Amino acid sequence: MLKLTPILLALAYAFVVMRFSVWRTKQMLDSQSQPLTDPSIIRLADRMAQALDLPAIKVHVFEVEPVNGLAAPDGRIFITRGFLNRKMRGEVSAEELASVIAHELGHVALGHTRRRMIDFTGQNAVFVMLSALLNRFIPGLGVLIANTISSVVMARLSRRDEFEADAYASALLLKSGIGTAPQKSLFRKLEALTGNRGAGTPAWLLSHPKTADRIAAIEGNEARWIAAEG
């Protein structure tokens, strides 16, 4: 039992950190968001809801300027005010924002939010244990090495989730008659919209797949689905 104590303590610490993070995120979203009122996006969300046999898809606006979409731990879907501002300026279309909503719905439907919380707990536990172990042999560098290892593992898991959510979104966009063209066109714009080109960041440390890889995966899925229908 004594041998298991450090592992149990690391897991308990990671769980507490995760629960606090979830609570803090919920508080922030509750205080800084409101229901989406853009009629052009709501019409597209209603088409996707119909394709899913749902009464409606409720979307909220997170009142921050960065361009992003997110699925909250409680399953709510958000797009940022920054994204809507880009639409008002004609930089993105309602259909492209619908593809963001479809992607975030994929995270919820596929259980990614819960899986990420479990992954986060595991990552923190591994980091704590690995840091303690490595610091015995490499004092001062153990924490750095442990952090790099855990970051690489989490980045790979995150990229897996993104590909899965992309595929879900593609299927939903096709079923609702919107198509995948807006999904692919938005990916081509995202780096410029977010100002993040991943310059100097190794691919194995990126939490999101590269744009070309995501578009290729979407087109590959479409080709397979069309062949299967034929």
pLDDT tens track for 102-157 = 999 999 999 887 766 656 655 666 666 666 666 666 666 655 655 666 666 677 77
pLDDT at 47 over 70: yes
- In the predicted model, what is the mean pLDDT of residues 54-68? 94
What's the confidence (pLDDT) of residue 64? 93
Look at residue 191 and tell me whether its pLDDT is greater than 60. Answer: yes
Residue 115 vs residue 224, higher pLDDT:
224
Confidence of residue 69 (pLDDT cuts 50, 70, 90): very high
> Average pLDDT, stretch 168-176?
97
Tell me the C-alpha distance between 14 and 5, whole Å.
14
Supply the pLDDT for residue 113.
Answer: 76
Task: Please say if the pLDDT value at position 1 is more than 50.
Answer: no
Crossing angle (nearest 10°) for helices 142-175 and 94-109: 120
pLDDT at 74 (0 to 100): 86
pLDDT > 70: percent of the chain:
67
pLDDT at 5 over 70: no
Q: Which residue has the higher pLDDT, 64 or 194?
A: 64
Domain definitions of the chain by residue range: 2-22+31-229
| Bridge partners of residue 70, in order along the sequence | 78
Q: Name the more confident of 212 and 125.
A: 212
Worst-scoring range by mean pLDDT, 152-156, 167-171, 183-187? 152-156
